[in-house]
């Protein structure tokens, strides 16, 4: 009677394999190193995986699924028409920090994956994930333009390429850092450089009071006023009043 796969043993093998791969590299790590760490036999390893490469591929696929879940923000982050602009920016900042924290915590495995799996051709999985993220970013940019949050002269595909490319380089810089950097400060800089340049002028004036694009003789805005909501709400209200 053939042996049945043991879910608990598989989990222990995956944990042991990830540790062995990140410490020694895929090429140098042996199946024996993995089974010794997991406390199981070599036969148990081959009951769950076809080979060492197959084991690593499953680790990569699982990690990318976890990363995708982290990168995809909860709907509330982008429900900008329901919140003041500064609250929206805080949500985006908190989400960006969470993603980079995840990358930092998993930097050993991520560094190995970005290097092509220590010799194995698994970098294509990262490329596919990057393309998926770029499509998500483009969808978010189109949505923000549609509700009046971002400028209408933007090309969503170009902006998505810039944002996703910048974060790709930032993650690579992060995982190469000798010690944990100030991730919050990094994300604040990114938000300041990117988002404020994307915002429509009337939205940017609320998010950054120092920005003045009003005509020279216009009356100054009253101080102490409540933060404005995203312009999508005002546009909808205007349509309602017009009818």
From CA 167, how far away is CA 14, in angstroms rounded? Answer: 28
Tell me which of 53-57, 72-76, 201-205, 208-212 is least confident.
208-212
Whether residues 90 and 59 share a domain: the answer is yes
Return d(Cα 17, Cα 35) in angstroms, integer: 8
Same domain, 45 and 129: no
Question: What pLDDT, on the 0 to 100 scale, is given for residue 124?
Answer: 74
Domain of 17, in residue numbers: 8-49
Report yes or no: 52 and 69 within 8 Å, Cβ to Cβ.
no
181 vs 104: CA distance, rounded Å: 9
Same domain? For 55 and 174 the reply is yes
If you compute the radius of gyration of the chain from its CA atoms, what whole number of angstroms results? Answer: 24
Q: Are residues 77 and 189 in the same domain?
A: yes
Q: Are residues 69 and 108 in the same domain?
A: yes
Looking at the structure of the chain, the number of domains it has is 2
Is the predicted pLDDT of residue 118 greater than 50, yes or no? no
Condensed to tens digits (0 to 9), the pLDDT of residues 78-101 reads 665 566 888 888 888 999 999 999
- As given in the structure block, the two tokens for residue 49 are 């995986």
pLDDT in tens, 127-186: 888 888 899 899 989 988 988 889 999 999 999 999 999 999 999 999 999 999 999 999
Nearest to 19 by CA among 105, 109, 116: 109
- Token digits of residue 87: 């609250």
User: What is the reported pTM?
Assistant: 0.76
Same domain, 36 and 57: no
């Amino acid at each position: 009677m053939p042996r049945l796969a043991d879910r608990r043993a598989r989990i222990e093998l995956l944990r042991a394999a990830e540790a062995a791969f990140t410490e020694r590299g895929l090429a140098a790590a042996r199946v024996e190193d993995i089974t010794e760490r997991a406390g199981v036999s070599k036969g148990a390893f081959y009951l769950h995986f076809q080979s060492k490469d197959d084991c690593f591929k499953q680790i990569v696929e699982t990690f990318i699924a976890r990363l995708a879940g982290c990168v995809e923000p909860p709907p509330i982050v982008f429900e900008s028409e329901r919140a003041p602009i500064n609250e929206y920016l805080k949500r985006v900042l908190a989400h960006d920090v969470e993603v980079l924290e995840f990358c930092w915590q998993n930097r050993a495995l991520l560094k190995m994956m970005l290097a092509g799996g220590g010799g194995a051709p698994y970098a294509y999985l990262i490329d596919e994930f990057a393309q998926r993220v770029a499509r998500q970013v483009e969808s978010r940019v189109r949505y923000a333009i549609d509700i009046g949050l971002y400028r209408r002269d933007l090309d969503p595909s170009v902006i998505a390429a810039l944002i996703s490319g910048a974060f790709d380089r930032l993650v690579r810089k992060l995982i190469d850092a000798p010690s944990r950097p100030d991730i919050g400060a990094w994300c604040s800089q990114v938000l300041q450089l990117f988002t404020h340049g994307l915002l429509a002028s009337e939205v940017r004036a609320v998010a950054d009071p120092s920005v003045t694009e009003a005509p020279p003789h216009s009356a100054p805005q009253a101080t102490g006023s409540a933060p404005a909501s995203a312009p999508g709400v005002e546009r909808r209200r205007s349509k309602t009043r017009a009818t």
